[in-house]
Amino acid sequence: MGKARFIFPFLFSAGGIAAALYILYRVTTEVPSFEFFPFIDGSLFTDIVVILGIAIPVIVIEYFIIALPLAALFLIGSRMVKSATYNFSIMDIGQDFSGYRMLRRSVAPALFSISSAGLVVGLIEGIILDTYSALPPDQRYLIGLSATLMGALIIMPIALALFIPTWVLNDAGIVTYLKEGQLDVRQCPDTEGVGRWYSSMLGGYSLFAFPIAMVSAHFVTPFIIEGITPEPQLLIISSLWTIGIPLLVMAFILPVVFLNEAAQRRSVGFIQRFARGLAAKEVEKPVISRKEVKKETEEETPEEPAKEDLDY
């Protein structure tokens, strides 16, 4: 796998992070600091930059300290739930992983972070309540939008702690498939990666909660609860922000995807050894081929009785 596959994801990440910081700067530079760090003078934007600067090494430490133990814990949990009807194995999978797949890998944790941002948005607005309520409607509207991004970035380390173990399990090829006796039942053969089993549940929550959270944060709260006039340009901004915020959060998640690619051999080796300790066997990729149907080339026809000479 060449390094060229990192070019587009890297440009996407760098551009998205720069765009997010610029947007936050334009919106929050006039808002006083939270004073989380009394020894640092500046605006709310200064606090955001400091928090992000702290979050980056925290996420790196998080990857190396808790990702592999959580992956092992996920594997044990899946085995306890599914061992009655499923075998656990290590499948020999391919090694190609393009830049497009890196982008796809960042989508689910980004949506999870945004969908859960409402848990902390109220806290963010509560901290700046006095200043927030004194601002004109347009500024309150923009700060309300940016609070969604701030909340998503705060939730992001938690989302990554849940999703990174699924990446490790998927990269290691840890799969479950129905035991032979279960194939006699009227059900389709079921082969699924253990990591995908978990990420599907987390991703299902994200896909369901994301539109609800965005409609609430970007339309209901500003235009109905706070009574800001829903002018056409504001409705357009809310719509574009709803579409664009996942891209901005993906930009912050992609460096962790790069880190996972760099440490992939170490993490895969660990989790495969752990799986073997749980009696997982190595299997080959299943081959799906078209079933050949035997065609009759000649139709059997009854022999006609011999014509006899008729005597008149």
CA distance 148 to 249: 11
Instruction: Indicate whether 294 belongs to any domain.
Output: no
Residue 22 has pLDDT above 50, yes or no: yes
**For 123-132, how does the pLDDT look when each residue is reduced to its tens digit (9 = 90+)?**
666 655 555 5
Predicted confidence band at 38 (pLDDT cuts at 50, 70, 90)? low
For the ranges 157-166, 175-184, 226-235, which has the lowest average pLDDT? 175-184
| Mean pLDDT on 202-213 | 90
| Residue 295 placed within a domain | no
Task: Give the integer Cα–Cα distance in Å for 114 and 311.
Answer: 99
Flag the least confident range among 25-39, 78-92, 135-149. 25-39
In a domain, 76, yes or no: yes
Q: How many domains does the chain have?
A: 1
What is the mean pLDDT of the segment spanning 147-176? 91
Name residue 130's amino acid.
D
Higher pLDDT, 283 or 109: 109
Across 101-106, average pLDDT: 95
Q: For residue 294, what pLDDT is reported?
A: 60
pLDDT at 247 over 90: yes
DSSP letter at 229 equals -
CA angle 40, 46, 48 (to 5 degrees): 120
pTM of the predicted protein model: 0.84
The three-class DSSP label of residue 303 is coil
Residue 12 lies in a domain: yes
Residue 22 lies inside a defined structural domain of this protein: yes
> Do the domain assignments include residue 88?
yes
User: Is 43 part of a structural domain of the chain?
Assistant: yes
Domain that holds residue 158: 3-283
Give how far the C-alpha of residue 195 lies from the chain's centroid of Cα atoms, to the nearest Å. Answer: 12
Q: Is residue 56 part of a domain?
A: yes
pLDDT at 290: 78
pLDDT exceeds 60 at position 305: no
- The per-residue pLDDT for 17 is 93
